[in-house]
Amino acid sequence: MTKPVRIALDAMGGDFGPDVVLPGAELAAINRTDTEFLLFGDEAKLRPLLDRQKHLKQRAKIVHTPVAVRMGDKPSKALREGRRNSSMWLSIDAVRKGEADVAVSAGNTGALMAMSKICLKMMPGIERPAIAAVWPTIRGESIVLDLGASIGADKNNLVDMAVMGAATARILFDLEQPTIGLLNVGVEEMKGVEEVREAGQILRELNSKDFIYHGFVEGDDIGKGTVDVVVSEGFSGNIALKAAEGTAKQIKEYLRAAMMRTWRAKIGAYLARDAFRAVADKVDPRKVNGGVFLGLNGIVVKSHGGTDAEGYAHAIDVGYDMARHELLARIASSIANSEAFMKKNLAEQAAS
């Protein structure tokens, strides 16, 4: 019998806390019958909500915590006041202790990253973490990283992110060799900053069995779905994410205004309502909710703070998939292969 996936939830995190976390966990419990849950938070608030969740109640345990990290807290303050007794810290610590396979939180991103790095430490061979998330595209979906865990990256950081992103895509998209692209200002090999050009050269020569290096991609290639994994340093990645979110809202408002402009437009909108629903479903942020913190000695998933129960359930599903398909082992294997190549390459350069 397959062992259940144990999921630790920061039940107090997010804009709505347990009012969204527990109903979201209920949806996940219905869809994933081989799960067990640890709910970290204020038991007085969690108990009445849990009693209303039929499926979750059978497979969940509440762990009382006296402190909740607030969405507006600075990471330093969150660490100082909640490092040992907050729902966020203790859900991560459950992964470190082996009591859970994955931690999920909709809480303060900076605090969650800081606590995760301190509590879980980095994987051997990885210098810094990255946030990876699913991005809807014309072709389907892609993985994009880093979306803001760190600012700046050298060639080795970019290669590490390519390896980690490929491992994530292999799990989520069931691909044997996902395609990798480095985000750049142009596709020509001579363009871009030195770190990106050097990372591209390493990935080209690496010839990994775990992924296929496509080359440089530009900003519009993200939405096109040109590659399965887009790699960028965190500053550019976060700007790309926010720009895409803003553009989606802008177009939505343009369409709404255009459809309400005249009675003919209103009739046309009514007749095309099924098509509009299909488009809305395709770009529904709840369907792609859940960013994975890659590079840590444990799996942590960040849910959007303002999501609803359906979106939170999707973040739990992402964590489930990462744990069930052994993300950490896949990353470790790929990193070992890339390190062996780079050591061999350096030795050959020294000999020549």
On whether the CB atoms of residues 267 and 260 are closer than 8 A, the answer is no
pLDDT value for 335 = 79
Q: What is the DSSP string of 259-285?
A: HTSSHHHHHHHHHTHHHHHHHHHHT-G
> 225 pLDDT band (50/70/90 cuts)?
very high
Scanning the structure block, which residue is given the tokens 């998330």?
A: 133
For the segment 166-183, the average pLDDT, to the nearest whole number, is 92
Task: Say which CATH number the domain at 219 has.
Answer: 3.40.718.10
In the listed set 263, 288, 313, which residue is the last one of a domain according to the structure? 288
Give domain status of residue 2, yes or no.
yes
For the segment 91-105, the average pLDDT, to the nearest whole number, is 97
For the segment 144-172, the average pLDDT, to the nearest whole number, is 90
Which residues, 6 or more positions from 51, have their beta carbon under 8 angstroms from its beta carbon? Answer: 57
Give tens-digit pLDDT for 304-344: 998 999 999 999 999 999 999 888 888 888 877 766 555 55
pLDDT value for 271 = 79
Taking the C-alpha atoms of residue 103 and residue 37, their distance in angstroms, rounded to an integer, is 10
Neighbours of 76 (CB within 10 A): 11
- The number of folded domains in the chain is 2
Which residues, 6 or more positions from 3, have their beta carbon under 8 angstroms from its beta carbon? Answer: 34
Q: Mean pLDDT for the chain? A: 88
Lowest mean pLDDT among 15-29, 166-180, 204-218, 325-339: 325-339
pLDDT value for 150 = 83
Give domain status of residue 336, yes or no.
no
Which string of b and e fits 289-307 if b means at least 16 CB within 10 Å? Answer: bbbbbbbbbbbbbbbbbeb
Give the three-state DSSP class for 342.
Answer: helix
In terms of domains, do 111 and 43 share one? yes
In terms of domains, do 131 and 266 share one? yes
For the segment 270-293, the average pLDDT, to the nearest whole number, is 78
Neighbours of 16 (CB within 10 A): 17
More confident residue, 285 or 242: 242
pLDDT value for 345 = 56
Percentage with pLDDT > 70 across the chain: 95
Give the three-state DSSP class for 124.
Answer: coil
On whether the CB atoms of residues 179 and 143 are closer than 8 A, the answer is no
In terms of domains, do 230 and 251 share one? yes
In the listed set 288, 314, 335, which residue is the last one of a domain according to the structure? 288
Whether the predicted pLDDT of 351 surpasses 80: no
Q: Where are the beta strands (DSSP E) in the chain?
A: 5-10, 35-41, 60-64, 102-105, 130-136, 141-145, 179-183, 212-217, 229-231, 291-294, 299-302
Q: Where are the beta strands (DSSP E) in 11-129?
A: 35-41, 60-64, 102-105
Give domain status of residue 73, yes or no.
yes
Whether the predicted pLDDT of 241 surpasses 60: yes
More confident residue, 279 or 215: 215
Give domain status of residue 306, yes or no.
yes
Taking the C-alpha atoms of residue 289 and residue 234, their distance in angstroms, rounded to an integer, is 18
Lowest mean pLDDT among 19-33, 197-211, 283-297, 326-340: 326-340
More confident residue, 105 or 271: 105
Taking the C-alpha atoms of residue 229 and residue 213, their distance in angstroms, rounded to an integer, is 10
On whether the CB atoms of residues 178 and 247 are closer than 8 A, the answer is no
pLDDT value for 308 = 93
Query: Which residue range(s) make up the domain with 18?
Result: 1-125+295-326
Taking the C-alpha atoms of residue 166 and residue 219, their distance in angstroms, rounded to an integer, is 19
